[in-house]
């Protein structure tokens, strides 16, 4: 049977440092850095001893991803080259290994080589150099299971079936014969059915029919199954597993349907970047992002803007029931013929890597926001449909009247805010689809971006600006919910991200997220969060820091309360409580309209006067007449304590990571939004800190990731001159 050996440790970087993968070639400051710092060639080297037990086996090193233009040599001879920075590649070592020590050398080139998508123009994101995903040493029989495409043709039928095409890898071109056994295993690890087939070529088809008791994969119950493929070819045995789900997914002229049922898509775009280490965080951080999107932000969809992302991220989307729009690398620019050829290959690599993920419901086969290019996009669509007839294609554009070669017109509609550019245009959240497509018919249609650069908002921006940020996200969502011809909307974007000088706020950040780079929510995050059902979680988030003079002129009105409650009660000081209901007039289509308390809802007396004493307040949410959640605001916040909150207190050994959030709190336990003081972060024991040791709080918080270096206790101590010290302990085991 095959073995998959962790190949992440013991790399010599640039001839001097011992490093572990995932690895970023250049650690960057939080902002205001020179992004050309990593735009050059870097070398990694790993020495290892060939195991005599590998004799007669096929041996490869599998790299999950490296940025970019990787070239791998064994003992000085090149074994493989791979340009694409977002997909895996294999360095086959069979027949080239020496007895004893071998040297594997990988060079990567972080310069933005214009021959490789997404490069050649300006792009609004960074492509941090490094072997930034995991690597594995795979030892198999000479003939082994290469890939499999698992399809579930009649997923909605009572008795279900599977058609799988298994691709055997036979690098030595041996005569192929033998048997293949495929087992269908459920989520509990129980084998429900098996079938076998004779091997007489490299492609083997297997079928299961008449399957009963199969659960559908759905967003609330993401049931997963595994096809375990075992082969015996006379030259050895091999086994590989392919996880999949039974579901149907279709974009129609009246919206998106999952398993035949209408589902309005509510999503955000995700870049795979993190502060300081760029792309180079592994499994736990990738999984955690999916959890944040599904469980914290309560989304049902994510777009992997603008490239294929880590399989750990996608696996977690499968497990959580988070739908995915995955797309090829690119940003506005289309290069010459060989660039386009490479882009077509990107389509192939993305689809053949990811075609079994039930979470992926559409392939993006256009360069994000590029102009029409008939021949090029005929090719990308044709290939996508050939490789995967079960999924529709989209191609993200911002241009109107664009040639529709895809199945779904996927549109970045940045109309909201354009009225500020003059003219008589009224404030418009989204355009009707036919105004955008220019077509005489309705087509499957989805909004893939809005917000972003139209209203950049920092987590430490004035409350009023943040309230407007919230409002814009709500308005677009409301419009998408209200238009049956729109499958849904995916906002720009989930997390703030580092970018080139040509974009963002000049500080190398696009402050476009509903969360900051540490994944700490801004108010706008609650525009999404509050759309969940109270049975999932009761949400009550007033869009205010509760200060008399933070807004222009003063006061906190209009006060938007993002909530899924039926009613909200406000008690100001010792005044009589007053109840308010959601503003369904302004937001008729949202699952949960916010409550908006305006001046006209209050008497002159209640409005109070500038210069009077500012009071505490209590806001209580009611469902079916019962109080379900309360938020207290105090009128005199004072810096009181430091909070240190790791995502997990138990982590894996050697290289596992977890995020640790640090917050300055007032005496009531609320974050102090304008507390900017520095904190010192020390990590001791079996882990190291990623990023600097002295950092300012931004909007009252900061964060960092720690990475285990072995086994045992880990101590994190955070200190600030005024707030003292806070310590937490974790364990790597
Ligand atoms: C879009 C683009 C995104 C991002 C966004 C900023 O045009 O597709 O990648 O740049 O604008 O709002």
DSSP secondary structure, 248-265, as one string: -EEEETTEEEETTEE--E
User: Could you give the CA distance from residue 182 to residue 193 in angstroms, rounded to a whole number?
Assistant: 8
Q: How far is the CA of 250 from the centre of ligand 1 (A)?
A: 26
pLDDT at 604: 78
Enumerate the β-bridge partners of residue 629: 621
Enumerate the β-bridge partners of residue 58: 140
Residue 264 backbone phi and psi in degrees, to 5? -80, 125
List Cα–Cα distances, 481 to 266, 402, 469, 474, 587, in angstroms. 9, 24, 19, 10, 10
User: Could you give the CA distance from residue 572 to residue 550 in angstroms, rounded to a whole number?
Assistant: 17
pLDDT at 423: 74
User: Could you give the CA distance from residue 207 to residue 83 in angstroms, rounded to a whole number?
Assistant: 36
Q: Cα–Cα–Cα angle for 397, 398, 399, nearest 5°?
A: 95
If one counts every other C-beta atom within 10 angstroms of the C-beta of residue 298, the result is 20
Closest CA to 179 of 197, 164, 193: 197
| Ligand 1 in reach of 449 Cβ (< 6 A) | yes
Residue carrying the six token digits 């979470």? 359
What is the length of the chain? 733
List Cα–Cα distances, 723 to 528, 619, 662, 726, in angstroms. 33, 28, 12, 9
Closest CA to 416 of 368, 463, 480, 351: 480
| Ligand 1 in reach of 456 Cβ (< 6 A) | no
pLDDT at 93: 98
Three-state DSSP state, 287: helix
Helical residues (DSSP H) of 228-336, grouped into ranges: 283-291, 311-320
Mutate to test the pocket of ligand 1, among 371, 453, 505 (most ligand atoms within 8 A of CB): 453
Q: How far is the CA of 549 from the centre of ligand 1 (A)?
A: 34
Q: Tens digits of per-residue pLDDT, 186-221? A: 999 999 999 999 999 999 999 999 999 999 999 999
369 has catalytic annotation? yes
If one counts every other C-beta atom within 10 angstroms of the C-beta of residue 728, the result is 15
User: Count of alpha carbons within 13 Å of 231, Cβ hemisphere only?
Assistant: 34
User: Could you give the CA distance from residue 515 to residue 494 in angstroms, rounded to a whole number?
Assistant: 6
| Ligand 1 in reach of 452 Cβ (< 6 A) | yes
Q: Pairing relation of β-strands 323-327 and 360-364?
A: parallel
- Name the active-site residue from 134, 287, 406, 449: 449
Three-state DSSP state, 368: coil
| Ligand 1 in reach of 500 Cβ (< 6 A) | no
pLDDT at 609: 63
Helical residues (DSSP H) of 52-97, grouped into ranges: none
Query: Listing from the earlier edge strand, what are the strands of the sheet with 540-542?
Result: 540-542, 559-563, 595-597
Instruction: Kindly give the number of the ligand 1 atom that is closest to the alpha carbon of 306.
Output: 9
pLDDT at 610: 65
pLDDT at 559: 97
Structure tokens at 534: 């109270």
Structure tokens at 276: 């300081």
Q: How far is the CA of 219 from the centre of ligand 1 (A)?
A: 27
pTM higher than 0.85, yes or no?
yes
Q: How far is the CA of 509 from the centre of ligand 1 (A)?
A: 13
Element (H, E) at 188: none
Q: Which residues of the chain have pLDDT under 50?
A: none
Q: Pairing relation of β-strands 657-665 and 701-708?
A: antiparallel
Q: Tens digits of per-residue pLDDT, 75-115? A: 999 999 999 999 999 999 999 999 999 999 999 999 999 99
pLDDT at 1: 83
Given a contact cutoff of 8 angstroms between Cβ atoms, the answer to whether 469 and 459 are in contact is no
| Ligand 1 in reach of 496 Cβ (< 6 A) | no
Q: What is the 3-class SS of 581-626, one letter each residue? A: CCCCCCCCCCCCCCEEECHHHCCHHHHCCCCCCCCCEEEEEEECCE
| Ligand 1 in reach of 327 Cβ (< 6 A) | no
Query: Listing from the earlier edge strand, what are the strands of the sheet with 650-651?
Result: 650-651, 724-732, 712-720, 678-685, 694-696
Q: Which residues have C-beta within 8 Å of that of residue 588, sequence separation ≥ 6?
A: 478, 482
User: Could you give the CA distance from residue 411 to residue 31 in angstroms, rounded to a whole number?
Assistant: 30
Query: Listing from the earlier edge strand, what are the strands of the sheet with 657-665?
Result: 641-646, 657-665, 701-708, 687-690
| Ligand 1 in reach of 284 Cβ (< 6 A) | no
Q: How far is the CA of 492 from the centre of ligand 1 (A)?
A: 7
Instruction: Kindly give the number of the ligand 1 atom that is closest to the alpha carbon of 503.
Output: 10
Residue carrying the six token digits 């951080």? 285
């Amino acid at each position: 049977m095959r073995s998959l050996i962790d190949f992440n440790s013991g790399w010599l970087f640039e001839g001097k440092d011992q490093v572990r993968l995932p690895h970023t070639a250049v650690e960057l400051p939080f902002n205001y850095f020179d992004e050309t710092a990593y735009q050059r060639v870097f070398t990694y080297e790993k020495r290892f001893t060939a195991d005599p037990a590998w004799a007669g086996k096929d041996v490869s090193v599998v790299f999950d991803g490296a940025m970019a233009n990787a070239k791998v040599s064994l003992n000085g001879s090149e074994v493989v080259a791979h340009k694409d920075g977002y997909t895996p590649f294999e360095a086959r070592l069979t027949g080239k290994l020496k007895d004893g020590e071998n040297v594997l050398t990988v060079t990567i080139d972080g310069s933005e080589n214009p021959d490789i998508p997404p490069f050649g123009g300006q792009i609004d994101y960074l492509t941090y150099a490094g072997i930034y995903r995991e690597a594995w040493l795979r030892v198999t029989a000479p003939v082994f299971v290469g890939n499999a495409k698992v399809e579930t043709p009649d997923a909605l039928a009572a008795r279900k079936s599977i058609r799988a095409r298994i691709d055997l890898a036979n690098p030595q071109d041996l005569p192929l014969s033998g048997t293949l056994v495929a087992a269908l295993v459920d989520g509990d690890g129980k084998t429900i059915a098996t079938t076998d087939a004779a091997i007489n070529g490299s492609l083997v088809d297997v079928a299961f029919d008449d399957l009963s008791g199969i659960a559908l994969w759905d967003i609330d119950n993401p049931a997963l199954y595994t096809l375990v493929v075992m082969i015996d070819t006379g030259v050895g045995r091999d086994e590989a597993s392919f996880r999949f789900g039974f579901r149907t997914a279709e974009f129609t002229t009246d919206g998106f349907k999952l398993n035949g049922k209408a589902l309005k898509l509510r999503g955000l775009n995700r870049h795979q970047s993190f502060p300081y280490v760029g792309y180079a965080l592994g499994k736990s951080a990738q999984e955690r992002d999916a959890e944040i999107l599904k469980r914290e932000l309560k989304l049902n969809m994510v777009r992997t803007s603008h490239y294929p992302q880590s399989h750990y991220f996608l696996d977690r989307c499968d497990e959580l029931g988070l739908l995915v729009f995955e797309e090829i690398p690119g940003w506005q620019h289309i290069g010459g013929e060989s660039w386009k050829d490479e882009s077509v290959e990107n389509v192939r690599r993305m689809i053949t890597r990811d075609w079994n993920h039930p979470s992926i419901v559409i392939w993006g086969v256009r360069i994000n926001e590029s102009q029409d290019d008939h021949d090029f996009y005929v090719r990308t669509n044709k290939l996508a449909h050939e490789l995967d007839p079960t999924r529709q294609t989209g191609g993200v554009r911002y241009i109107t009247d664009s040639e529709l070669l895809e199945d779904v017109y996927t549109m970045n509609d940045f109309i909201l805010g354009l009225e500020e550019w003059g003219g008589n245009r009224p404030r418009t959240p989204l355009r009707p689809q036919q105004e955008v497509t220019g077509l005489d018919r309705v087509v499957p249609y989805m909004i893939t971006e809005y917000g972003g650069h139209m209203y950049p908002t920092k987590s430490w921006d004035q409350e009023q600006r943040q309230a407007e940020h919230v409002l814009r996200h709500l308005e677009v969502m409301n419009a998408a919910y209200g238009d049956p011809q729109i499958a849904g909307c995916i906002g720009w974007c989930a997390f703030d991200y580092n970018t080139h000088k040509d974009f963002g706020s000049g500080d190398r950040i696009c402050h476009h997220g509903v969360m900051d780079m540490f994944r700490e929510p801004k108010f706008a995050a609650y525009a999404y969060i509050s759309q969940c059902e109270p049975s999932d979680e009761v949400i009550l988030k007033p869009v205010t820091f509760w200060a008399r003079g933070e807004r222009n002129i003063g006061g906190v009105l209009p006060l938007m309360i993002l909530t899924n409650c039926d009613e909200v009660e406000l008690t100001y000081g010792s005044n009589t409580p007053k109840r308010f209901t959601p503003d369904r007039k302004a937001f008729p289509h949202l699952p949960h309209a916010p409550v908006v308390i305006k001046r006209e809802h209050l008497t002159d007396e209640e409005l109070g006067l500038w210069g009077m004493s500012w009071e505490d307040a209590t806001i209580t949410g009611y469902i079916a007449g019962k109080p379900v959640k309360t938020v207290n605001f105090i009128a005199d916040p004072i810096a009181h304590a430091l909070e240190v909150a790791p995502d997990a207190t138990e982590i894996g050994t050697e290289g596992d990571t977890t995020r640790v959030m640090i917050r300055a709190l007032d005496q009531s336990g609320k974050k102090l939004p304008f507390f900017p003081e520095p904190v010192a972060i020390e990590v001791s024991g079996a882990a190291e800190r990623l990023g600097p040791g002295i950092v300012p709080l931004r909007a009252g918080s900061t964060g960092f990731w720690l990475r285990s270096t072995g086994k045992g206790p880990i101590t994190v101590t955070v200190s600030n001159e005024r707030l003292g010290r806070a310590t937490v302990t974790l364990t790597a085991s």
